Amino acid sequence: MKSEEAGLLVAFNAGSQAPKVHLDGREYFSEEGKTFELCLTGKIKQQLSVDPTLRPEYPSSLGLTEFTKRATEVALGKSSRAIVENRVLAVQTPGFTAAVRLGAELLRQWFYVSAAWCGPVYVSSPCDDALPGIFEAAGIQEIHEYYYWDDKQRGVCLEKLLEDLERAPEQSVVVLSASAHYPTGADLSKNQWAVVTQLILRRRLFPFFLLPAQGLCYGDLERDAWPVQCCASQGMDLLCAQSFSHYFGLYGEAVGQLLCVLKQDSLRVSVRHQADSIVRSLWAQPSAGGAQVVATVLSNPSHLAEWQAEVRHIVERCMLIRKILRDRLRLLGTPGCWDHLVQQSGLYCCTGLNGQQVEFLSKWRHVYLLPSGCLNVSAINGRNLDYIAESIYLALTTPL
């Protein structure tokens, strides 16, 4: 758990006043405020537990073949040229963070083998505050930020983003959120992505995509992964870290994957060898349980349809929460425009509250969110929404 999240949880648990609301966290929470497991996930787990053909054995260091195949198709599309031309290496990892770490190690040891490359890596501002530490742990010390969220616009500022990437040295790695950007929930449009992609090509930058919650942004697997597929179709090298925890409810199983899309199929064997060597030194083998659940769902059309319906329900609920919260704030006469709440998507949302206002919420109303003003939308439910709206109103209207 990151330091900010841990601090918030300590403060939340220490408070004796009621009500109190914790709006951070990475899980999807149900309307009852419980960590949510999809109905289908539970059924598949039960089926697998009594399957006589499954034996307790270690998977390959690179993961379960059926899982990596299906997870790759989800990210790139079944008809992807990169897949057809055998230019993709997929490695199952024990969670999303492990996928990012493996990607960072490969950048050091594979992509720039002709030189002692150690950066720079560009991450968005704001970003998951664990990201810089993951790259630093892999020996990459030069970490920079590029402009992303604009407090005044309450959205992505493409102009400043492009200015920062334009100044990045050639061969810089740019960490990009494909969809459901954490922690803001604000994403680039397709037209904006097209501009960013052309800059990456022209400036010879290396894209490292983050795809931690595919499907939970728009409720459409292909649309959520469109930026990855767009760059892959341009024939460029890229990395993509995936996670299956959110949209399968597999928070205890830690199921992730790193995708390596290569310009040339001749590089695949050497990259595979390097990845295998790194994995054996980091975690040896990934766990099989969660990956078997994902593979079972993605390889069965009936399961896939049922799963997609459950995911769409999650997306629709989160969007409904955004709309109701916006309307409540308007009815209360809360200063400012709150349309940005419904212009964002996914589990996360940047409210636009400043540090003093966030401090007011925690100190006087016992509503806990990140210092940046970002929160987990799914933690809002019918029992606490009015209290949260009233608290935000007071944070903006009470003299500090």
- Please report the pLDDT score of residue 311 as a whole number: 92
Q: Give the residue-averaged pLDDT of 48-56.
A: 79
Phi, psi (deg, nearest 5) at residue 4 = -65, -45
Residue type, 276: D
The CATH number that domain 3-37+304-395 falls under is 3.90.1150.10
Of 263, 213, 242, residue with least CA distance to 76? 242
> 68, 90 in Cβ contact below 8 A?
yes
- Please report the pLDDT score of residue 18 as a whole number: 64
Predicted confidence (pLDDT) per residue in 201-240, tens digit: 999 999 999 999 998 998 899 999 999 999 999 999 999 9
In sequence order, the 6+-apart residues with CB closer than 8 A to the CB of 263 are 87, 235, 236, 237
- Please report the pLDDT score of residue 58 as a whole number: 74
Predicted confidence (pLDDT) per residue in 18-45, tens digit: 688 999 888 899 999 988 888 899 999 9
- Please report the pLDDT score of residue 72 as a whole number: 98
- Please report the pLDDT score of residue 188 as a whole number: 95
Report d(CA 156, CA 9) in Å as an integer.
Answer: 29
When pLDDT is cut at 50, 70 and 90, the band that residue 312 belongs to is very high
**What is this structure's pTM?**
0.91
Sorted by where each begins, the domain ranges of the chain are 3-37+304-395, 65-300
Task: Look at residue 67 and tell me whether its pLDDT is greater than 90.
Answer: yes
Report d(CA 261, CA 197) in Å as an integer.
Answer: 15
Report d(CA 348, CA 128) in Å as an integer.
Answer: 12
Task: Look at residue 329 and tell me whether its pLDDT is greater than 70.
Answer: yes
Predicted confidence (pLDDT) per residue in 82-91, tens digit: 999 999 999 9
DSSP character string of 29-58: B-TTSSBP--HHHHHHHHHHHT-TT----P
In sequence order, the 6+-apart residues with CB closer than 8 A to the CB of 53 are none
The CATH number that domain 65-300 falls under is 3.40.640.10
